[in-house]
Amino acid sequence: MNKEVSRKGAIALVVIFAVLIIDQAIKIYIKTHMYWRENVRVTDWFYIYFTENNGMAFGMEIFGKLFLTVFRIMAVALIGWYLFKIVKRGMKTGYIICVSLILTGALGNIIDSVFYGVLFSDSTNAQVATFLPEGGGYSTWFYGKVVDMFYFPIIETNWPSWVPFVGGEHFIFFSPIFNFADASISCGMIALLLFYSKYLNGTYHRQT
């Protein structure tokens, strides 16, 4: 049993470190090689579009910046504690991977919020950011902006003129711009709902 727990713990750590390294490598490259709002067309429905936001996943900006950063840190602490508990209980490997993805996605965006304001100069339409600039970063600790870059305008068209209220207006299906950490959170949560809802319910009823 101890070997099984160790194996599942090792898998969780591999997922955490792999996702975190990929997420930060992409963000640092984009931040130091692209202008703010610069975009690169990959296909008609996929762009690398560099932007930054002060809010939560997929560019949503609600509440104050410091509140969001502290909230993320608290959420990661709780998820980390929960991950530790489910690894010790020997729960299914796939379930552990899903929770690890959610944890690492949240942690990836925390790194941006806590450190990027100090580590990088500001990104503008005319200036590419530099790492550890001589004059200091663009902000202070806990006030960094989250780097986003993936944009999938899968369908881009205009509403038919006969559609009430929005007829003739421009329409983009799936307009949020997001990063690898956001995708990690989403994949983890979707997989939990699709594959482990019955497992979760069964585990809960056995423990109550």
Inter-residue long-range contacts of 71-74, CB under 8 Å, 24+ positions, other chains counted: 72/106, 72/109, 72/110, 72/113, 73/110, 73/114
Phi-psi region of 51 (alpha: psi -120 to 50; beta: other; left: phi over 0): beta
Q: Where are the alpha helices (DSSP H) in 51-207?
A: 65-88, 93-111, 117-119, 180-195, 197-207
Active-site hit among 23, 44, 122, 148: 148
Exposure string of 162-194, with b = 16+ CB inside 10 Å and e = fewer, is eeeeeeeeeeeeeeebbbbbbbbbbbbeebbee
Count CA within 13 A, CB hemisphere, residue 172: 10
Residue of 23, 44, 122, 182 with catalytic role: 182
Q: Is 112 a catalytic residue?
A: no
Q: Which residue has the tokens 């960094």?
A: 144
Told to judge if 182 belongs to the known catalytic residues of this protein, a careful annotator would answer yes
Query: How many angstroms from the chain centroid is the CA of residue 33?
Result: 20
Per DSSP bridges, beta strands 177-178 and 146-151 are antiparallel
Distance CA 199, CA 164 (A): 44
Which residues carry out catalysis? 148, 182
